[in-house]
Amino acid sequence: MRDIAIGFVTGRKSFRNVLKTFACHWRGLIREHPVGIHLIVAYDLEYNHTSVDDYVNLQDEIRDTFRSVSFIGLESVRGMCEDLCGGGALEEREARQLFGRGYAGKRNVVLYEAIRRGMDALLFLDDDEYPLAVTSRDGLAYWCGQDVFREHVKALGTFDVTNGYHCGYVSPIPHMGFADDFTEDDFRVFADAVSNDILNWDGMSAVMRNGGVTYADDGALAEPRVTALERGRTDGLPISGSNLGIGLTDRTRTVPFFNPSGARGEDAFFAAALGDQKVARVPVYTFHDGFMRYSGLLQGNLPLRLGRIEATDPRVVERFYKACLGWIRYKPLLMWLAGRDDFDSRARRVSDELRYLAPRMERRFHLPFGQVAREFSRFSRRVALDEENYEANLAAWEKLMRATVVHGRP
């Protein structure tokens, strides 16, 4: 592979610190291997009230790491859509569908730009994930650097899609105690109700036991191996939107990201869209700093212990509440795509469980968890429309790939 794109979708100033850490390693890589690394960044100024300068003002040594650098904001996306529609590649509604607001739209912008410019592969990274693995032994944290780029590029010679592992604060599941008015069984039922391809009760309980931390698997680090995965599904986890490699040499084998309007789940629906593509789990971790507490890791400050995420912290509980809303909004469409015949009965069971547990959750966390049940019902009622939009998204992408003129490739 000659040209590899690095893709970021970001709304944080800290993006540049993460990029600097990766770029330090890549400078050595490009001296040793004939590979060109290209940076493509889709930025969101509204997310954290940032400015364009917060992204584009890179130090010269960082910018010089890349053969090319592209920053894509809202005006650039509008111009791209006008060009595509004016040239007959897409209808206006199709362009809005693929490249509209939201995380899926921004990921599709980066993916399309990489394809249009003739990249051989695209590696998505996140602005809150660092190239480190952390394990726990005897109550202490042990750290190991990770060669994220190399592991993906090697595997993308054989596979269409590659996805690495995650450790750290992967999901905002706090450590919590239980009592008679809110038992562990209550929380298990709630976890099963909100679960999807992201998380289930087994995963939640393991995270809670570790104080909200997900540790890397010692075995996976000691004996690294690439694991082929079944179509669009992984070994119990979704294909995540970061630490994600996509082969681009055959653009007809790429699929787009998708969000139901007002929901997330872009990585889950990317996975659902994969058919006969060859997918692999690659043996490389990134550390997810989900609460932005460990930016010192980027400067080599490796703590001996990781802090617990406690349900007594109001900020942690609010983050957990918002995550539950995010999960539940796209759960109906995932359920629908998995099987329509018994969708009504399955949705009714989930709805009943959420309504039953809402008062207990509200007493325990002092937040309006009844809204989780209401959001599930709202998105369940519109699931057929969401499926229609999902299929239209796939059709628009296929149409765009047929019309795309790739630089240097037919």
- Residue ranges of domains in the chain: 3-403
392, 91 Cβ separation under 8 angstroms: no
Residue type for 159, please? Answer: F
Query: Which pLDDT belongs to residue 322?
Result: 93
Query: Which pLDDT belongs to residue 234?
Result: 42
Exposed e or buried b for every residue in 73-99, given b needs 16+ CB within 10 A?
A: beeebeebbeebbeeebbeeebbebbb
Helix, strand, or coil here: 112?
helix
Higher pLDDT, 36 or 338: 36
Confidence band of 198 (pLDDT split at 50, 70, 90): low
Give the chain's length: 410
CA distance 52 to 323: 28
What is the reported pTM? 0.94
70, 56 Cβ separation under 8 angstroms: no
Q: Is the pLDDT reported for residue 233 higher than 50?
A: no
Across the range 295-304, mean pLDDT stands at: 94
Query: Which pLDDT belongs to residue 329?
Result: 96
Query: Which pLDDT belongs to residue 402?
Result: 95
β-pairing verdict for 68-72 and 36-43: parallel
Q: Is the pLDDT reported for residue 237 higher than 60?
A: no
CA distance 117 to 13: 27
Q: Is the pLDDT reported for residue 61 higher than 70?
A: yes
Query: Which pLDDT belongs to residue 195?
Result: 84
Biggest distance spanned by C-alpha atoms of the chain: 67
160, 253 Cβ separation under 8 angstroms: yes
CA distance 252 to 254: 6
CA distance 329 to 151: 34
Confidence band of 407 (pLDDT split at 50, 70, 90): low
CA distance 130 to 286: 5
Tens digit of pLDDT for each residue in 77-122?
999 999 999 999 999 999 999 999 889 999 999 999 999 999 999 9
Higher pLDDT, 174 or 112: 112
Across the range 377-398, mean pLDDT stands at: 97
β-pairing verdict for 121-125 and 3-10: parallel
Query: Which pLDDT belongs to residue 197?
Result: 63
CA distance 111 to 73: 15
Q: Which residue has the tokens 């082929």?
A: 228
Across the range 269-274, mean pLDDT stands at: 93
CA distance 381 to 333: 10
* End-to-end Cα spacing for the chain: 17
Residue type for 267, please? Answer: D
65, 80 Cβ separation under 8 angstroms: no
Q: Which residue has the tokens 């912290």?
A: 313
Query: Which pLDDT belongs to residue 29?
Result: 83
Q: Is the pLDDT reported for residue 215 higher than 90?
A: yes
Q: Is the pLDDT reported for residue 344 higher than 80?
A: yes
Q: Is the pLDDT reported for residue 385 higher than 70?
A: yes
pLDDT above 90 as % of the chain = 79
Q: What average pLDDT is seen over the chain?
A: 92
Query: Which pLDDT belongs to residue 339?
Result: 87
Indicate left, alpha or beta for 352 from its phi (over 0: left) and psi (-120 to 50: alpha).
alpha
Q: Which residue has the tokens 């069971």?
A: 349
Query: Which pLDDT belongs to residue 283?
Result: 96
Q: Is the pLDDT reported for residue 404 higher than 80?
A: yes
Query: Which pLDDT belongs to residue 19?
Result: 96
Across the range 129-147, mean pLDDT stands at: 96
